[in-house]
Amino acid sequence: MMGISMLRRSASVTAIVGMALALPLSAAQAKSVTVASPDGKVQAIVSDTAGKLSYRVTVDGQAILNPSPIGMRVDGVELGEDAVIGAVARSKTDSRYRFDGGKAEAVDRANVATVTLTTHGTRFEADIHVADDGVGVRLRLPAKPEQMVEADRSGWKFAAPDPRVWVTRIDPGYEQVYESRTLRQLKGRSLGLPLTAKIGRYYVTLSEAAVVNYGDSGLSADASGMLNTFLYVDPMGWTTYAPVVQPWRVTIIARDLTGLVNSTLVQNLNPPPAPELANADWIRPGVSSWQWLAIGGPREDDQHQWVDWTKQLGYPYYLVDEGWASWKRKWETMEDTVRYAESQGVGIWVWVHSNEMFDRNQRRATLRRYAELGIVGVKVDFPQNPNFYWTTWYEDFARDAAAEKLMVDFHGALKPTGTERTWPNVLTREGVRGHEWHITRYHRVLPGDHDTILPFTRYVVGPGDYTPTVFAPRELQGNSWSHELAQAVLFTSPFLSMGGYPPTYLQNPALDVIKAIPAVWDETIVLPGSEPGTMAGFARRHGKDWFVGVINGTTARPLKIDLRFLGAGDWKLVSLADDPAKPDAFARTERTVRSTGSIDTTLRAQGGFVGWLRPAQ
């Protein structure tokens, strides 16, 4: 009987072994790698289950992303298929750096894993970066002669069947309207990044970081709700001799809107600057006057007047936009303008077309000439669609501008991907449908809820040159003065190019507040009641002063602002509310308040509110 029992046991073991051998190798040896955030509340789990390379994300034990693919097709090999996880190397980041934006300092603190992978004999690596505010993942391949990058196969699968999303259509110049939709409504549409969704009680923003030497990605939503990346500018791919480094696929996660708008995850996923740039005293954020929105191209005979207006407003910069190259004596007039501006304590920025800046030798020679004239910054416009070559151009331009100690504003540009951390001389970029799309001479009007969505989508990933605040009555087109002024508070841009005609500022009853609004902030708090598509309200601190900015959507509503964010003592409040009688006026009041008090007002449809709070002496 013992012999029969042993035979049966042997047969059973043989059957189990046989079943295991019959399974696909990837299923039999499936592996996963878990990386948790420093606070332990965010987790990313990368898996090769069934040979499919994917990751999922949780926060506070709640699913945010269901298994989502990570992949590329390179040299005919699908790197996310039949993938096998190998060795894992772990590390940490823990640093702080100056941040020009909605707060004074960025914290780069995360746990990182680098995973060795193999598929069909191709060895490559995946990086997983998990911070308290979200997750970044990417793939990397070593350099190889004539390596062909054919497609991007990554994606995001929300752990909710039909969440609310705030999204824009794909556009190489990133100047489309943001709108509120549900995920199911996006089926079959080509979408741009960033995209923000509400998953349960969490706000989640998707985007890319460190898009360099790689084509820009869009999203396509399929029937299952998967948001798949695709190389919309490079459908045929590209050939490279360099290492292939996929941009980080970024998932920012926040428990509230204050956490969302204060995330620096996109910037943290970029390399730090060289020390001489990190500490450069010639990189100076500031507010600028600018003539294009108000009058069109610059006139050759009134440049001293614009400098005088800029000085009267207390702005450090004046931007001479498109059209100066057509002046009869363009270089002589520009040199005279720069010299006069210097005598008045004003720095000059100039506009240039990107077609003058693609050839390396021409670019360097032109930038050197600008620097020798005393110009301090360059607004470079109309870069071509962000394919593999042009995403590299952005970095080349930033590097060459830095060599001449020139600050930069990219216009008609690729979305921000955090590269301003590496190149802090790049103060801002457009990549947003701003006030240039709300202008009567081109018969263009922005939807009434667009401005309320931008702070929680586009501005989550980096600064944007919206060119805010126009007071000319015919240009309001539904907005109120308070709405227009609040744009300068909410739409972060370290080079804050103001869109209005200077006399309309200098003659405005809010002149003291207009002159006081800074270009960068030390602290940002999102006010209760804010929601994308409905209302956006911020309290922002600069030094000891607080500014409150509120932008309302298409429905009038009461507003109560609790002042508990203020410190102890008395505070002088200048209140600029909507005038109920007409949009081109303020209901201005001044009073003393304390942190136990509140501000109570009513917002017009497409109205707003601005408050300036200073410690009482």
Confidence of residue 24 (pLDDT cuts 50, 70, 90): very low
| Token pair of 100 as six digits | 């020009």
> Which one is predicted more confidently, 23 or 166?
166
Nearest to 526 by CA among 196, 255, 209, 290: 255
Q: Give the tens place of pLDDT for each residue, 387-423.
A: 999 999 999 999 999 999 999 999 999 999 999 999 9
Query: 414: which DSSP letter?
Result: P
Q: Give the tens place of pLDDT for each residue, 509-552.
A: 999 999 999 999 999 999 999 999 999 999 999 999 999 999 99
Residue 103, φ and ψ in degrees, nearest 5: -155, 165
Q: Which pLDDT belongs to residue 17?
A: 33
Q: Which pLDDT belongs to residue 543?
A: 98
Strand, coil or helix: 470: coil
For residue 416, the surrounding DSSP H or E stretch is: none
Distance between CA atoms of residues 138 and 63, nearest Å: 20
Whether residue 428 has pLDDT greater than 50? yes
| Token pair of 35 as six digits | 């990386």
Nearest to 337 by CA among 371, 314, 376, 303: 303
Q: Give the tens place of pLDDT for each residue, 283-336.
A: 999 999 999 999 999 999 999 999 999 999 999 999 999 999 999 999 999 999
**Percent of the chain whose predicted confidence (pLDDT) is above 70:** 95
What is the model's pTM? 0.94
Distance between CA atoms of residues 200 and 206, nearest Å: 16
Q: Give the tens place of pLDDT for each residue, 467-509.
A: 999 999 999 999 999 999 999 999 999 999 999 999 999 999 9
Mean pLDDT for all residues in the chain: 95
Q: Give the tens place of pLDDT for each residue, 114-127.
A: 999 999 999 999 99
For residue 448, the surrounding DSSP H or E stretch is: none
Query: Region 329-355: what's the mean pLDDT?
Result: 98
Q: Which pLDDT belongs to residue 162?
A: 96
Q: Which pLDDT belongs to residue 617?
A: 79
| Token pair of 415 as six digits | 């979305």
Q: Which pLDDT belongs to residue 30?
A: 73
Q: Give the tens place of pLDDT for each residue, 549-599.
A: 999 999 999 999 999 999 999 999 999 999 999 999 999 999 999 999 999
Nearest to 80 by CA among 138, 135, 29: 138
Q: Which pLDDT belongs to residue 325?
A: 96
From residue 69, give the alpha-carbon distance in Å to each of 18, 137, 460, 613.
31, 10, 24, 48
| Token pair of 521 as six digits | 């902030």
- Bridge partners, 93 (sequence order): 110
| Token pair of 143 as six digits | 């350099």
Whether residue 70 has pLDDT greater than 90? yes
Q: Give the tens place of pLDDT for each residue, 198-256.
A: 999 999 999 999 999 999 999 999 999 999 999 999 999 999 999 999 999 999 999 99
Distance between CA atoms of residues 174 and 170, nearest Å: 7
Q: Which pLDDT belongs to residue 12?
A: 38
For the purposes of burial, counting CB atoms within 10 Å of the CB of 478, is it exposed (0-12), middle (13-18) or buried (19 or more)? middle
Q: Cis omega before residue 447 (within 30°)?
A: no
Distance between CA atoms of residues 48 and 76, nearest Å: 20
Q: Which pLDDT belongs to residue 22?
A: 34
Is the Cβ–Cβ distance between 409 and 378 less than 8 Å? yes
Distance between CA atoms of residues 305 and 292, nearest Å: 15
- Bridge partners, 148 (sequence order): 239
- Bridge partners, 581 (sequence order): none
> Which one is predicted more confidently, 598 or 16?
598
